[in-house]
Amino acid sequence: MIKTSELKKLVSKIFIKHGLSKTDAVISSNALINAELVGAYGHGLSRLKMYCDRIKKKVINPKPKIRIKKISQSISHIDANNSIGFVAADIAIKTAIQKAKKTGIGMVAVKNSGHYGLSGYYAEQAVKKNLITMIYTNAPPAVAPHGALKSLFGTNPICFGTPTGSNVPFILDTSISMINRGKIRVAARNNQKIPEGVALDKFGRPTTDAKKALEGVQLPIAGFRGSGLAWMVDILSGVLTGGNHAGKVKDPFDDFSGPQNIGHLFITFKTNLFVNNFNSRIKNNIKTIKKLPKIKGIKEIMYPGQNKYKRFKMNSKKEINITNSIKEDLKILNN
């Protein structure tokens, strides 16, 4: 168990040791610890060693010269110069917020970036400034296009955030993969079955055998439709921005042959462009939906982001519990 504030300092120190500026180290540390606090451990400290390894192997640039090119009052293009993703995304969302505040709408594309953790983390920043936001990023191959027998699309999250007129933002941050690979790995290790319809074996046949699924491919949500959504995200975050696409984003854990060149797209806009009572409208929207009759066993109809917010609040009060393997990472990386 360790205090959040201490852990943040330690992780910052580790990033500084690996060559990041103090500012960039703090940005990256905050993003990683936030993932721990919301319970998204796959985006938290379990990635710290990977980031440091990529810096050492020179496929993340610890001292990037990030260039922001103004396309118009509303639009900018950022070349992240292979920075750690957190730093590029932080600049991008801040730029998108400024642009939306000034002109009503902001659109910022990023290229030559890396994995930036949770899209929802950046969405929250825009929502705190009373803006609606849509965020897209691509990722290494994990999901097979509909009809294909090979993974190509990333888990390509679709992220949408909006103020709710309350402290708890509406943050949808949804992968388009039916299941994440980590869960299949755990099931295979424990000889457990995986649900139907989430994966195919290496011959392209549906399977509930976790080991066979690991040799095969993961499926997108909703078949052709989810595959189309993943493709959309690949186009918006990769083809459009100048980032890698069509399966070319390298796996950050396994492939050190070069930078990832991930692309991101951030769109932000004001809530009061078309109505002057957005807050009361959305409050009413949420209230109406929460009042619907519920399926047995369901206590409350939750909107996206509510659970994450609860976990964040709860975990922020406590010390953070870290696994032995992460303790070991921290010790080695701090040496």
* Of residues 260-299, those binding a second copy (CB under 8 A): 267, 269, 271, 273-275, 278, 281-282, 284-285, 288-289, 292-296, 298
**Sign of the C-alpha dihedral computed for residues 311, 33, 114 and 127 taken in this order:** positive
| Beta carbons within 8 Å of 271's beta carbon, 6+ residues apart | 130, 131, 132, 162, 163, 278, 279
Q: How far is the CB of 314 from a second copy (least distance, A)?
A: 20
Q: How far is the CB of 242 from a second copy (least distance, A)?
A: 5
* Of residues 96-115, those binding a second copy (CB under 8 A): 103-105, 107, 109, 111
Q: How far is the CB of 166 from a second copy (least distance, A)?
A: 14
Beta carbon nearer to a second copy, 109 or 330: 109
Of these, 19, 39, 42, 242, which contacts a second copy (CB under 8 A)?
242
Which token pair is 153?
């699309």
Q: Is 120 helix (H, G, I), strand (E, B) or coil?
A: helix
Beta carbon nearer to a second copy, 225 or 313: 225
Per CB under 8 A, the segment of 186-194, 207-215, 239-247, 324-332 that binds a second copy is: 239-247
Q: How far is the CB of 5 from a second copy (least distance, A)?
A: 33
| Measured distance CA(116)–CA(172) in Å, rounded | 17
Beta carbon nearer to a second copy, 30 or 174: 174
| Measured distance CA(9)–CA(331) in Å, rounded | 14
* Of residues 114-153, those binding a second copy (CB under 8 A): 132, 144-150, 152
Which token pair is 151?
């993974």
- How many binding residues for a second copy (CB under 8 A)? 75
Q: How far is the CB of 91 from a second copy (least distance, A)?
A: 15
* Of residues 4-63, those binding a second copy (CB under 8 A): none
* Of residues 179-238, those binding a second copy (CB under 8 A): 200, 203-204, 221-222, 224-226, 228-229, 231-232, 234-236, 238
Label residue 317 exposed, middle or buried (CB < 10 Å: 0-12, 13-18, 19+).
exposed
| Measured distance CA(85)–CA(109) in Å, rounded | 13
Q: Give me the residue label for tokens 């319970």.
A: 39
Strands 75-79 and 105-113 come out as parallel
Q: How far is the CB of 269 from a second copy (least distance, A)?
A: 7
| Residue of 212, 194, 193, 191 lying closest to 203 (CA atoms) | 212
